[in-house]
Amino acid sequence: MSRHTIELTVNGEAVSAEVEARTLLVHFLREQLALTGTHIGCDTTSCGACTVLVDGVPIKSCTAFAVQAQGAAIETIEGVARDGALHPLQEGFWEKHGLQCGFCTPGMILTAKGLLARNPQPTEEEIRWAISGNLCRCTGYNKIVEAIHYAAGKLASTEKQASEPGSATGEEAQS
């Protein structure tokens, strides 16, 4: 078997690992890095359970090779919360009851995070389009859409507060 050393950043941490050329990114994350929040569903990119962010872009890790992530920044569900605080998307899924069994939730959250990074105030139609590659068999999607809207509002409010003169973050941004 052909083995390669890859160097990448996973959830903000530098990682160097040896992988077989045929190792899928989802298996690398789950088996070599023990990041089991990235789920394996269909192995054909149909369900979205394996979605992670690669350089901020949602991808389905079940059809990407780990060697393709060389030099990239990967974010999994384990890296979304910061300093023990839930990300507004995680909070939204909790507050708006956007999850039931939870199997699709990591992929949904990372897909939504990618959406909100490029479109901070998406419409319902834009949210539904963005998550259309992620299957949920429990919720009917309405609560998931509400959760993403909740997060968009919370992120906008946080950003507005940070940019106001006199706020600690706003003063730092102006320096």
pLDDT in tens, 23-66: 999 999 999 999 999 999 998 999 999 999 999 999 999 999 99
Picking from 45, 79, 113, the residue at the C-terminal end of a domain is 79
User: Per-residue confidence at 173, pLDDT binned at 50, 70, 90?
Assistant: very low
pLDDT score of 168: 58
Mean pLDDT of 62-79: 98
pLDDT score of 172: 47
Question: For the chain, what is the largest distance between any 2 Cα atoms, rounded to a whole number of angstroms?
Answer: 59
E-strand stretches of 61-147: 73-75
Residues 161 and 124 in one domain: yes
Residue with tokens 């009851």: 97
Are 99 and 112 in contact by the 8 Å Cβ rule? The answer is no
| Number of folded domains that form the chain | 2
Mean pLDDT of the chain: 93
Residues 71 and 94 in one domain: no
C-alpha to C-alpha distances, 62 to 30, 33, 36, 40, nearest whole angstrom? 11, 15, 13, 7
Residues 107 and 129 in one domain: yes
CB-count exposure of residue 3 (10 Å: 0-12, 13-18, 19+): exposed
Q: Tell whether 175 is covered by a domain.
A: no
Picking from 79, 98, 129, the residue at the C-terminal end of a domain is 79
pLDDT score of 160: 77
**Does residue 162 have a pLDDT over 50?**
yes
Residues 64 and 118 in one domain: no
Provide the CB-side half-sphere exposure for 99 (13 A, CA). 17
Structure tokens at 46: 């149909």
Query: What gap in Å lies between CA 56 and CA 106, rounded to an integer?
Result: 15
**Number of other residues whose CB lies within 10 A of the CB of residue 175:** 5
pLDDT score of 161: 80
CB-count exposure of residue 153 (10 Å: 0-12, 13-18, 19+): middle
Residues 16 and 71 in one domain: yes
Q: Residue 41: which domain range?
A: 3-79
Picking from 29, 49, 79, the residue at the C-terminal end of a domain is 79
CATH number (domain holding residue 31): 3.10.20.30
Q: Tell whether 59 is covered by a domain.
A: yes
Residues 13 and 72 in one domain: yes
CATH number (domain holding residue 119): 1.10.150.120
Structure tokens at 13: 């941490």
76: which DSSP letter? Answer: -
Residues 42 and 96 in one domain: no
Are 106 and 26 in contact by the 8 Å Cβ rule? The answer is no
